[in-house]
C-alpha cells in the first residue's frame, strides 16, 4: 500500500540516496570463516565473524572497501583478545603485508604508494 505525500505540508522527496556498491574481497575470505584462524591455525570452521577493513583511518576505509581489501575475522582476531588486529600491531601489519602482496598482483608498487602512502613489504 502506497501513501500519497504530495498534498501534505512537507511532502517526502521521491529520489532516494545513492547506494555504494561494495566490492568483494580480493583476499579469499569466506563469510563465517575467520581469515586469521584459517591462515595461522588451519581452522576453517564456521563461526561468528565481523568484516574488517584492512586499511583504516584517515579516509582509507573507503579506499579499502573500493579495492576489496577486507577480511572476515572472529571476535578474538578482530577486537578482543591478544591477537586482535585492533590491539596488536604485528597482526595488523601482517594483514597489511598480505593485502599489499595481493594488491600488487594486479597493480604496481607505485600505485599502492600513491593510494595508501606506506609500504608494508
Give the separation between CA 104 and CA 98, rounded to whole angstroms: 10
What's the pLDDT at 101? 93
pLDDT tens column, 18-69: 666 667 778 887 888 999 989 888 888 888 998 888 887 778 888 888 888 8
Percentage with pLDDT > 70 across the chain: 84
Among candidates 33, 28, 65, 68, which has minimal Cα distance to 49?
A: 33
Percentage with pLDDT > 90 across the chain: 21
Give the separation between CA 24 and CA 102, rounded to whole angstroms: 14
Angle at which helices 89-103 and 109-116 pack, to 10 degrees?
130
Amino acid at each position: 500500500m502506497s501513501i500519497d505525500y504530495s498534498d501534505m505540508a512537507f511532502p517526502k522527496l521521491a529520489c532516494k540516496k545513492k547506494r555504494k556498491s561494495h566490492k568483494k574481497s580480493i583476499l579469499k575470505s569466506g563469510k563465517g570463516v575467520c581469515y586469521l584462524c584459517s591462515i595461522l591455525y588451519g581452522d576453517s570452521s564456521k563461526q561468528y565473524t565481523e568484516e574488517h577493513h584492512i586499511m583504516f583511518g584517515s579516509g582509507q576505509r573507503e579506499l579499502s572497501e573500493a579495492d576489496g581489501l577486507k577480511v572476515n575475522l572472529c571476535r578474538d582476531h578482530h577486537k578482543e583478545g591478544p591477537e586482535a588486529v585492533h590491539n596488536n600491531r604485528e597482526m595488523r601489519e601482517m594483514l597489511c603485508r598480505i593485502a599489499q602482496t595481493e594488491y600488487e598482483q594486479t597493480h604496481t608498487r607505485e600505485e599502492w604508494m600513491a593510494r595508501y602512502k606506506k609500504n608494508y613489504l
